[in-house]
Amino acid sequence: MGSLLVGAAVAAALLNLYGDVRRKMTQEFRAYGANVILAPAVAPGTSPGATVMDEQVVNQLKSGARRLKGLTFAPVLHVVARVKPVPSDPRLPEFQNLVAVGTDFAALRSLYPGWRIQGAMGNAALGLGECVVGAHVATRLHLAPGGSVELAVAGGGPEPISASPPEFRVAGILSTGGAEDDRVFLDLGSLQRLAGLEGKISLVELSLPGEGAEIERGVQVLARTLPGVEVRPVHQIVESQGRVLETIRGLAVSLTALILAIIGLCVMATMTAIVLERRKDIGVMKALGASDQLVMGLFLSEGAGLGLAGGVAGFALGALLARELARRLFDVSLGLSWWTLPLVVLMSVLLAGAATLLPVRIVRGVEPAVVLKGE
């Protein structure tokens, strides 16, 4: 009984945890960043780097976000710009050509929680006159949070840009280790106005929740609802995630199977003890004319009953355990998943029944005369 209880508790805890741990793991994987990119479809013969598309895509995404739960995305506009620190420093190059990124910075941050930002801006969105500069840009132009830069969009040719380019306050310094270190981030609207590209964006970075197959489905849904837009999954992320989750799942399943096998063994030992201990009762029953089948059925139903009781108690204990573990190890708060109750109880009953099958064979060997005589 005790072993069954523990067994059912472990199984219930694992089952309860499993779904949530999976969800938590997929969530962790999302920190790798966008797994789908929406870009303008390339017509043959156009330069792919410089194309833009209509901002309307974002509105369509917003209405679609209700259907695809947990979807996060950030529109991005890339423009080559010319940046100059204010006040200008004679020791430095007069200006610096770099890529300016107009975006919803708070949304982009939530896509890439691994990015490190220096400066007191927290998770706030970028204000109108604010910008975030990449770490390389900051070292190159000797910028610190609180400083200012002038930013002008280089309009294709060498002709001078507007006479007094607008100034932006440096709200933070971004360190990512990637290409973002060489860029400047602005509010999307400000950059659109500066570049004369009102209502245009270069691409949308998108993070679809779920695993491989779900993401593939999401990609198809997006491709259908957004004509004229190229929806491309980032293979590196989508596939690697699937592979790693597959590995973890295989591991969890095989280890749980091993644990269940051990529990079966445990129940078997207990039932053997029970049957042996009651050899005399068996002898009496058989002497009174009970068939082997009847006595065996008795023990089997006792085993199943034990399984039932152990399963229910184990479920309660396991659910509590899972809640505690989930909070401590995975910091998720876990709701009771009632669907696991019938599963755990059924499993416990079946396991107890199966494990009783072998020990009840002892019943057959019990000779009433021998047992009752006292030897």
Partner 1 sequence: MLTRIVGRSLTRRRRRKLLTLLAVTLGIAVTTAVSTIALDVGDRVGRELRSFGANIALTPVADSLPVSLGGTDYRPIGAGAYLAESDLLKLRKIFWRNNIMAFAPFLDVPVQAQGRRLTLVGTWFDQDLSTGKSEAFHTGVKSLHPSWKVEGQWPTDDDAAECLVGRRLARSLGIQIRSSLALRVAPGSNSAPQSTAAAVLAVRGIVETGGDEDDQIFAPLALAQKLAGLEGRVRRAEVSALTKPEDAFARSDVTKMSAEEFDRWYCTPYVSAICYQIQQVIPAAEAKPIYRVAETEGRILNRVGALMALLAAAAMVTSTLAVASMMFATVLERRAEIGLFKSLGATDARVATIFLLEAFVVGLLGGLAGYFAGSLMAQRLGVVVFGVPAQINWVILPAALVLALVVTLAGSALPLARGLKLSPVAVLRDE
User: What residues between 10 and 29 interact with partner 1 by CB under 8 A?
Assistant: 10, 13-14, 17, 21, 24-25, 28-29
Distance CA 187, CA 195 (A): 12
- 65 vs 261, beta carbon nearer partner 1: 261
Of residues 51 through 80, those in contact with partner 1 by CB under 8 A are 78, 80
Looking at 54, 150, 211, 239, which residue binds partner 1 (CB under 8 A)? 239
Residue number with CB closer to partner 1 (146 or 250): 250
Cβ nearer to partner 1, comparing 57 with 237: 237
Site residues for partner 1, window 325-364 (CB under 8 A)? 325, 329-330
Residue of 15, 68, 226, 234 that binds partner 1 (CB under 8 A):
234
Site for partner 1 in 109-168 (CB under 8 A): 112-116, 136-137, 140
CA distance 164 to 86: 12
Instruction: Give the per-residue contact string, 278-317, with partner 1 (x = CB under 8 A; - = no).
Output: ----------------------------------------
Largest CA distance in the chain: 116
Token pair for 367 = 């000779």
**Binds partner 1 (CB under 8 A): choice among 72, 118, 175, 337:** 175
Q: Are 173 and 143 in contact (CB under 8 A)?
A: yes
By beta-carbon proximity to partner 1, the closer residue of 87 and 114 is: 114
Residue 129 phi, psi dihedral angles, 5° rounding: -95, 25
CA proximity to 205, closest of 26, 58, 52, 59: 58
* Binding residue (CB under 8 A) for partner 1 from 120, 244, 287, 294: 244
- Judged by CB under 8 A, which of 60, 72, 148, 176 binds partner 1? 176
Minimum Å gap between C-beta 46 and partner 1 is 6
The count of residues in the chain is 375
66, 235, 288, 369: which one contacts partner 1 (CB under 8 A)? 235
**Which is closer to partner 1, CB of 7 or CB of 85?**
7
Residues 63 and 61: their CA atoms lie apart, in Å, by 5
Question: Within positions 86 to 115, which residues make up the interface with partner 1, using CB under 8 A?
Answer: 96-99, 112-115
- Binding test (CB under 8 A) with partner 1, winner from 182, 216, 292, 302: 182
Nearer to partner 1, 58 or 80 (CB): 80
Q: Where are the beta strands (DSSP E) in the chain?
A: 36-40, 53-54, 72-86, 96-103, 116-118, 130-134, 148-153, 167-175, 183-187, 200-201, 203-207, 229-233
Residue with tokens 């096998």: 261
Burial of 47 (0-12, 13-18, 19+ CB in 10 A): exposed
**Are the CB atoms for 101 and 107 separated by under 8 Å?**
no
The pair of three-digit structure tokens given for residue 182, joined into one six-digit string: 């060489």
The minimum distance between CB 211 and partner 1, in angstroms, equals 14
Query: Of the candidates 56, 88, 254, 291, which one interacts with partner 1 according to CB under 8 A?
Result: 254
Per CB under 8 A, 324 contacts partner 1: no
Q: What is d(CA 333, CA 350) in angstroms, rounded to the nearest whole number?
A: 31
First-to-last C-alpha distance (Å) of the chain = 29
The single residue listed with the structure tokens 């691994």 is 114
Site string for partner 1, 32-51 (x = CB under 8 A): xx---x----xxxxxxxxx-
- Binders of partner 1 among residues 201 to 230 (CB under 8 A) are 202, 230
